[in-house]
Amino acid sequence: MRITIIAVGKVKEKYLRDAIAEYAKRLTAYCNLNVIEVMDEKTPENASSALNEQIKKKEGDRILSKIPDRAYVIALAINGSMLSSEEFAGKLEALSVQGRSEICLVIGGSLGLAPEVLERAEYKLSFSRMTFPHQLMRAILLEQVYRAFKINAHEPYHK
């Protein structure tokens, strides 16, 4: 299976880069992982809602240009479906059985995802109704992808 993660912005904190690198390394035993960063837009402190929409559109266009044509797209969205780790593992396994060997997971920037990206997504996934920094979300997502592969392989993993 090929997993592509498209994320807005660079991860600046070393501890997050280290966590991301660790889970990316662990995932090499289970899938072909590709992490793509697209440039984020500077957002002024008191930006109008119109400017925020323009920023999301620019970031969204960058995201859409990187999504592989045949990929099944899962967008991380606060209003998406919440799954347990086991349910997420089941979702990935079901996609594999259906012949969907290319999965693309999308993490938006600080303003979220453009409507065009959400429309392109076949599935919207929420990790919580809480808001997380998009840089931290990358580490959390990679950990859950790794956990899903361990669950599907019936291999032990800490709880």
pLDDT tier at 142, thresholds 50, 70, 90: very high
Q: Report how far residue 2's alpha carbon sits from residue 30's, in angstroms, rounded to the nearest whole number.
A: 9
Checking if the pLDDT of 155 tops 70, the result is yes
pLDDT tier at 56, thresholds 50, 70, 90: very high
User: 14 by DSSP, 3-state: which?
Assistant: helix
pLDDT tier at 43, thresholds 50, 70, 90: confident
So what CATH class is 2-42+49-152? Answer: alpha beta
Give the residue extent of every domain in the chain.
Answer: 2-42+49-152
Interval 117-134 mean pLDDT: 94
In contact, 107 and 125? CB cutoff 8 Å = no
pLDDT per residue over 32-42, tens digit each? 999 999 999 99
pLDDT value for 159? 58
Percent of the chain with pLDDT over 70: 99
User: What is the phi-psi region of residue 73: left when phi exceeds 0, alpha when psi lies from -120 to 50, beta otherwise?
Assistant: beta
For 46, counting Cβ atoms within 10 Å of its Cβ (0-12 exposed, 13-18 middle, 19+ buried), the class is exposed
pLDDT value for 128? 92
pLDDT tier at 93, thresholds 50, 70, 90: very high
When the pLDDT of each residue in the chain is averaged and rounded to a whole number, the result is: 95
pLDDT value for 59? 97
Percent of the chain with pLDDT over 90: 89
